[in-house]
Amino acid sequence: MERPQEKPQEKKLANVKQNVAKHEEKKETKQEVKQEKKEDFSHQEHNHEHHEHKHETPATEEKKETKPVVKLTKKHEAVVNALSLPISKKHSMYIGSFIKNKPIDLAIKQLEEVIKFKRAIPYKGEIPHRSDPGMMSGRYPINASKVFIQLLKGLKGNAIVNQMDIDKVRITWCSAFWASRPMKRGGAKFKRCNVTLKAKEVTKVNKEAKK
């Protein structure tokens, strides 16, 4: 007897079922492999964090132990050097002679009054007269006074770092001289000035400096 021949539609259905079953098996195997990889990776990270945590504490202890201790030594002089300031040398010279032998805080206060036109700096030469007591002629160098206030604040900070007594510190030296001056149009030059300020502790307080 001859075998009954299968219909073509039934063959196609059987092939499709086989392909679907194979595809599902591949998916399952891939998912299992991914899960295994994730578990291995998480286990490695956990071990790595645990290993780092073990080595963190001695490193911090070593850093704390190796910190250098800075010992401040007392000095008897504080210095400030400023280069190429955009101010007039003439104004700087008269301001320097005005603040010399005075406490730093008093010099800052008086220069702030100069900026507000409440106090004039004494000048020499054919300059308009001012009504300040004991002054014949003077001016209000505002730009130079602003720069000198910043320099005096730096000088005060240096004196504190040098462990000097601020109440006994006096400005003992102020020099102003020309710096290299760039050219303008028409052959003129810009204003550039170097300034040096020094302060020391003074045992005998000058009475004139308090005025």
pLDDT, one tens digit per residue, over 146-180 is 999 999 999 999 999 999 999 999 999 999 999 99
CA-based nearest residue to 182, from 172, 192, 167, 169: 192
**pTM of the full predicted structure?**
0.64
Q: Are 113 and 149 in contact (CB under 8 A)?
A: no
Q: Quote the CA–CA distance of 129 and 94 in Å, as a whole number.
A: 16
Instruction: Output Rg (C-alpha) for the chain, integer angstroms.
Output: 42
CATH classification (class only), 77-210: alpha beta
In the structure encoding, which two tokens stand for residue 52, read together?
Answer: 């780092």
pLDDT, one tens digit per residue, over 53-87 is 544 444 455 555 666 766 778 888 999 999 999 99
In the structure encoding, which two tokens stand for residue 205, read together?
Answer: 């307080």
